Structure 1
Amino acid sequence: MTVSVLLVDDQPLLSLGFRLILEAQPDVTVVGEAGDGAQAVAMTRALRPAVVLMDVRMPVLDGIEATRLIVDSGSPARVLVLTTFDLDEYVYAALRAGASGFLLKDVPPADLVTAIHAVAGGHAVVAPAVTRRLIDAFLPHLPDPATGRSLADEALHRLTGREREVLELVGRGRSNTEIADALTLSEATVKAHVGRLLAKLRLRDRVQIVVFAYERGVIARGDRDGTA
């Protein structure tokens, strides 16, 4: 199946580079290019791409707000944010807005194509190791659970004990294989638990599970995994 992609970047040379990479693929089609967030929202509505490759810092409307508008509109398009590590705080905001993952702008072409297909298939593209580094960078910016919503809220109460264990391990950036080893479960069972977490917590993907775990205090400040 061919994946349709909308490119969103205010730097024409970067946009051209991504277009050349993607148009060389037999199963990817670039349906349009937008130079700012407002154009991205309008073109997503008009062109209905499967994936929106979204820059963060742009004129008129930034990529974070554009992502939120696209997700809130009910569009089936999946947003894949492009950024660099010095923009981590913007990436976090974008993930909260509903982005399905992120890539660095120096991503190898093969990895870019793989990520686009993964996102189009409904998966998140943030690798576990990258998730751990990302969360470490975000910890100073996260709300203190003591002043945020209670851990005894309705969403967490709906989880079983095993689902809470899986939630914590996903929050620490563990892969399904690592979770299966830690809990002595099959990978299929872990995948089933992750699916139930998404349904019960009304989240879009694995990335949002990580954000949820930190925001709700399931992973405490200073209580980091320590693995790379």
Structure 2
Amino acid sequence: MTTSSRIEWTEQTWNPIVGCTKISAGCKHCYAELMARRLQAMGTPGYENGFALRLIPERLSDPLKRKKPTIYFVNSMSDLFHEKVPVDYIDQVMDVITRTHWHSYQILTKRAARMARYFKARPVPENVWLGVSVENRRHGVPRIDYLRSVDARIRFLSVEPLLEDVGVLDLDDIHWVIVGGESGPKARPMKPEWADVVRIQCEEQGVAFFFKQWGGWGADGKRRAKAKNGRLLNGRTWDEMPAHAPM
């Protein structure tokens, strides 16, 4: 099953896996976990066990049925490189991606080391955008070097939820950076200067910058009832996409 996405930087989501486990600070208030619980309560197929990891092979063929070129976010409700996802299942996902060359696929992971090991012996399909989450210095920033070691056509960082000043970033061979604050009832605030220091480094290093959302807190440091609370940073929207991207 693929679904239209409300995520600003993609078009559709494709979830041949659902469920995950927490491994770093960015996982604390996981949006996918909350959504999985809601879907379980609604009786939605695939979520009978809530957020427990589950492979759904019957969804593997879904992109083959769509002929319109589409940008897919792969496993918005999981992590393709979770340690419990078998290598042969990842191979099956990659086979579908390779066969559907008219689509583009955004794969985002917090398991950067496993991602790098997987692609050490395999080429990254040309239509894959490969990304890692960078929520803080301790857990997130070290993932960038793993990503840089993989020969992907487009490499990107999802700096969301941005939980602190991530400091000086080496963006060599990185093509796109997304920044956003945390949403949800327990969202942690993002300070404007944290987001702006990332934007400035993108500008200085020639990397496309995309500001996704403030999340549950505004630029003024006040809690908001509305989840996304606007997309303006320094009075404007930032919707830059990587060079040669189809969007």
Q: Normalized against structure 2, the TM-score is what?
A: 0.35
Greater relative contact order (CA < 8 Å, ≥ 6 in sequence):
1
**Relative to total residues, which structure has the larger helix share, 1 or 2?**
1
| TM-score where L is the length of structure 1 | 0.36
